[in-house]
Structure formats: structure tokens, C-alpha cells
Amino acid sequence: MRSAPERPSRRGRESGSAVADFAMVSGLVSVIFVAVFQVGLALHVRNTLISCASEGARVGARAGADPADGVARTRQLIGQSISPRFAQDVTADVVEVDGVRVVAVRVTAPLPVLGPLGPDRALDVVGHAFLEDQ
């Protein structure tokens, strides 16, 4: 009687697959981690710019102050908080919103896409404050 040919064991066919699985999964997890980190960095920069613009608008809206004071304060805060590179385009104007005069400080800055680097003028945020001398 002839015996059936021996099939390779299941263990032999899957030998080394753990290394391939680890490489694929770790690559995917790394990409997801970097993507989440970048979104967090972009949101942090945006929120910081909004906060600095709002504080600058409050300084520029004080009684006896000039909107240019708000621009200087906004640039100072952005330089201390993030980087002076993000404070290169800061403007302030007195505008009317619903019949009330307010100081609007506008910051246009790069969007950090690859670490702190990214396309220029991609973030545009505005901070408002009511004029005190109305």
C-alpha cells in the first residue's frame, strides 16, 4: 500500500509571515500617527493665532489707543507663542458690525503642513473687539 504524499505542515507555510504583518501594520500606524499629529499642530497654530488676534484687537480698541497698537501687540504675542514667521502679515482696521464700531485684527499666516512648514497665506484669522470710545 502506498501512503499519501506528505503535505507541508501549516506551520512551514506561514513561517516568516509575522515579520511581513509587523512591517505593514507598523507602517500604517506610523502614517496615521503623523497625520493625527499634523492635524493637531495645524489646529494648535490656528487657535493660537485667533487668540493673539483677539488680544491684539482688545489692545487696539482701548480708549485712547490706536489699531496700530493692536498690530504691535499681536505680532509680539505670535512671536512669543509660535514663531515670528507667523506674524509677518498682521493688519488692523476699524470696521462696523451691526451698527457698532469694532477693531478687527487680521492675521494671514502659513498653514503648517509638514511640521512647521507649509503653504504661505493659507490661514486667515480675524479677532474683533468693541471700541471703548464710542
Is 71 contained in some domain? yes
pLDDT of residue 6: 63
pLDDT score at 47: 96
102, part of any domain: yes
Asked if residue 11 is part of any domain, the answer here is no
Residues ≥6 apart with Cβ < 8 Å to 20: none
112-132, pLDDT tens digit by residue? 887 767 787 789 999 999 998
**pLDDT tens, 4-20?**
666 655 556 667 788 88
| pLDDT reported for residue 103 | 96
Q: What is the pLDDT of residue 77?
A: 97
Query: What pLDDT is recorded for position 11?
Result: 58
Is 52 within a domain? yes
pTM, full prediction? 0.80
Residue 16's pLDDT is 72
Cell numbers standing for residue 46: 490656528
The H helix count followed by the E strand count for the chain is 3, 3
Task: Give domain status of residue 83, yes or no.
Answer: yes
Average pLDDT over residues 76-95: 95
d(CA 107, CA 87): 7
Is 80 exceeded by the pLDDT of residue 49?
Answer: yes
- Could you give the number of structural domains in the chain? 1
Q: Is residue 90 part of a domain?
A: yes
For the chain, give the mean pLDDT: 89
Q: What is the pLDDT of residue 119?
A: 82
Q: Please answer whether residues 105 and 72 qualify as being in contact, where contact means their C-beta atoms are separated by less than 8 angstroms.
A: no
